[in-house]
Chain A
């Protein structure tokens, strides 16, 4: 076989396995924020509260300021302005004004000539506290409203959402089987390898520049202006390449305000670098959630109703909590769901590090509860769990019962792919004891249809500068946080204009240089920024084509862009190089440049909160996990995870697979190891990488990424998200595989060996008791149960 006849110049970079532009990342050449050292730079250090809840009586910086090398100390009074990522819930100060609300809350900041002196000086800032009653766990926050952490101090409630779709009670009552369970997720942290870092600098023109490890330069720009009372025209935010974020850097943090303020006070650049411990206090990790869930089904496997009551442990501040509370219910209605649904979610404040968005914001925990419920139903009905899901899939091009508009939907192909790869039919339920398979599915947003602050402007924008040398520069407000958005843009532009990747530059994340994009969160980058970029690139393309058509005297419709040249369709020997085309176009149209933008169509259900969770497109995922369980120790080993993910179209398959594997890995880590525990005294159990265990390379399962492409009609070349969706099924797939392996349900995360072993022991004891009962013919009282009584009315 030969491949003659295939015009090689037309093969796209889109969909190719290129890794160009990623090399500096993996060879140590990328310069992160902490790599920036400015002349005369000072080091900052935040003074933190040692109490979970306290009133700040007095702060005395005399001893700190007397220490040689200490230049300045600031407190909450220097920036008495509330901020918060959600405009309706601003409840944080850069430094606590009069209340510290968790151990690690920021109360003052020091600037000194080096990092060590800054750390030592922070210990010399004398803070007098009046210790207050604290709620250091969810139950206390529920039971003791008088602690008063909520707005107005009357209770501890942060946000409550109560939504119902259809008559759930009737649906459940009419079900053949109802599974009811309590599920608990303890919370987890992002653990980016790069901790938060920020540098502030005020130049002699009065321009305040802040370099930060943020994923949201635009929001940071706005909040800096508001809190520091500096016009936005005098602030520039630069986001250097970020070493991992996962949602933990998607709002402003104390250090950015402190670096800026101390730079303004001292006239010198000031850097803050969080220690690993501080990273755990800044937190914004996945919320602990306590979920009571009922799911009903008919005998044929058709789901009837879902009823969920959820308590969410928000930690000390609101963060994105309003959205989290909605997401804890709204994102459950795809891909397989019932006809009726009710959820009531209450987020409570506690005196713990504030929770926020972590990869799969708000929806990973309920997804665990729901997908395990489905597994229980499948066992109760004797229906294969993949078949059970197939019977209940929401089809493409429809609207869910809570008003989510669904366009492309590749979940069936995802299920096909994992079933085939795992040899599901031959192996599920048939592996030797101690080994098992589990399946789970999910769906996730590709960005949301509302900006965090209401406005009518585009959510994403790109500018292209076209240089007559043949270089095209993409200016994008997106934040390159290691997810590869720069490469994604370069590939789109290169294919539209016939360039090689070496001719495309991407400049991103700089509020002076790049147009506004709302940031790297909600899995919005590819969909929104990609569409904006295509719009700009196509405008340039049409100019190149027009100029070439004129030069070659052909109809523009007959000009074809190939790699390196624009040629005549039916006579490809005639053509001009791309660089020449650019020069022709520049001569014809003047200096070349273009802008592109994206905004979502109007989306969402017609009810309060109906827009939260509404996305222009949803990604779909199915996992099959294979585990082995050691019944002597309780250790669970995840042997393999097959991840099939419908990303619409894989623009950069290497990156898509990386996201799928990284997501599945992160989910498996939460399933088995990670646990963000705050003790009754309000102290983090171990804010370091020895005590908070992320998997080592030896603990990672074999991951098999199976890309599914459903070609979304509104996505850029059909693409949807791939950064967060593939995480969701990890935890329930593993939970369901544990049941397949050893017949126990662990409804509380993580699935630690102690917990698994205890469940195995209990099962053994129950079975023994049952066999003794049956051997006694049912005449003896149940072991361990109350003596026989007349049955109580129930």
Chain B
């Protein structure tokens, strides 16, 4: 089988210890939690660290809880929470169903048992020309994300368009989640939407040595959310599209929508927030919202051949999935 390269393994027990270690090792280190993304990427020569720092043993990173902050209830998830825990957590299913649904559709059961929320948030972008063995990429002539200078997706392109393929990202953006980061320069909070940038080589604002340690989502009784994933098989596959929808409804009136947010991912390096969602005004009937959000998403999303399957079909599936996600929230 493909062997792992040689590296030094570190297992800090506390967050400060981990932050110190990462600061000291600099760009020679990568962080590993569940390993479902990092290990295959190391086997493919996509990352070549001298040091691997495991944060799997840091207890402070675990846990899912509801915390009272001022007038708000906040769902707080440790970055080390396993995707399988998130998928089955009653709290998450109640407060942030889109996140539970997204976590439940990552890979297969084994990946979700190992993979963590933080790991999925920081998942490397993916591309059919990048996630291959060294031999394959060498035969291709490499690409600008790794070892090469050309883009095979966009001929003549100078910016990497590898796709954000983390299922939790669109859900967290639609849910207006806060990401709590900790690094050598201290702690900061970044909105999930602001965490991602449109650069496939590195699509996050994470600074060297910085970790995602926690995610918080404000509870709001009038919020409903759902997640849809386009894939050819019912497990294992990375998304051909992933779509999260948040709808704001008020009172007991359930046939109308007051506001919406739609995020589509697996397009390019950054999950795309659909502008048409901001035009959904109070009192919009569900079916009208579904149609307008679907149509808006179709107009704004143009899938690239960075991931597999027919791009025209993937585009046609954008409104289909958006509408399904919206209509599932009715009633």
Contact = CB atoms under 8 A, between A and B. Distances in A.
Interface of A: 48, 50-51, 103, 115-116, 119, 123, 273, 275-277, 632-634, 673, 681, 683-688, 690-691, 693, 695-699, 752-754, 757-758
A688 B3 CA distance: 15
Given A116-B5, A681-B140, A752-B310, A693 B135 contact: no
Contacts of A48: 135
B245 to A, nearest CB: 17
Interface of B: 1-6, 108, 128, 131-136, 138-140, 232-238, 308-310, 312-313, 316-317, 320
A698 B235 contact: yes
Given A683-B139, A698-B233, A698-B235, A757 B308 contact: no
A754 B3 contact: no
Chain A interface, DSSP helix/strand/loop, else mixed: loop
B134 to A, nearest CB: 7
Contacts of A752: 232, 309-310
A690 B237 contact: yes
B136 A683 contact: yes
Contact of A632 (B3, B140, B320): B320
18 contacts: A116-B3, A119-B2, A119-B3, A273-B1, A275-B1, A275-B2, A277-B135, A684-B136, A685-B308, A691-B128, A691-B308, A695-B233, A696-B234, A696-B235, A698-B233, A754-B309, A757-B316, A758-B313
A690 B133 CA distance: 13
B313 A754 contact: yes
Given A690-B131, A691-B128, A634 B3 contact: no
A275 B313 CA distance: 33
Contacts, number: 79
A633 B317 contact: yes
Given A691-B308, A693-B232, A277 B136 contact: yes
Contacts of B308: 685-686, 691
B128 A686 contact: yes
B233 A699 contact: yes
Contacts of B237: 690, 693
Given A115-B3, A673-B232, A758-B313, 8 more contacts: A277-B133, A683-B140, A688-B133, A690-B236, A690-B237, A693-B237, A696-B236, A699-B235
B139 A50 contact: yes
A276 B232 CA distance: 21
Nearest to B107: A690
Nearest to B131: A690
Contacts of B108: 696
Contacts of A691: 128, 308
A119 B313 CA distance: 39
A134 B102 CA distance: 44
Nearest to A115: B3
A754 B320 CA distance: 13
B49 to A, nearest CB: 16
B232 A123 contact: no
A684 to B, nearest CB: 7
B302 to A, nearest CB: 16
A693 B235 CA distance: 11
Contacts of A275: 1-2, 133
A50 B233 contact: no
B232 A103 contact: no
B234 A699 contact: yes
A690 B136 CA distance: 15
Question: Nearest 10 pairs between A and B by C-beta?
Answer: A754-B313, A754-B310, A698-B234, A116-B3, A50-B139, A696-B235, A632-B320, A699-B233, A115-B3, A103-B139
Contacts of A753: 232, 313
Contacts of A684: 136
Contacts of A633: 317, 320
B322 to A, nearest CB: 12
Given A50-B139, A690-B131, A673 B233 contact: yes
Contacts of A695: 233
A687 to B, nearest CB: 7
B243 to A, nearest CB: 13
Nearest to A117: B3
A116 B6 contact: yes
Contacts of A698: 233-235
Contacts of B132: 686-688
A50 B140 CA distance: 8
Contacts of A50: 135, 138-139
A592 B225 CA distance: 76
Contacts of A681: 140
Contacts of A754: 309-310, 312-313
Contacts of A685: 128, 308
A753 B313 CA distance: 8
The interface centre, meaning the residue of B108, B135, B233, B313 with most chain A CB atoms within 10 A of its CB, is: B135
Contacts of B6: 116
Given A50-B139, A683-B136, A683-B140, A690 B310 contact: no
Given A275-B1, A633-B320, A753-B313, A690 B138 contact: no
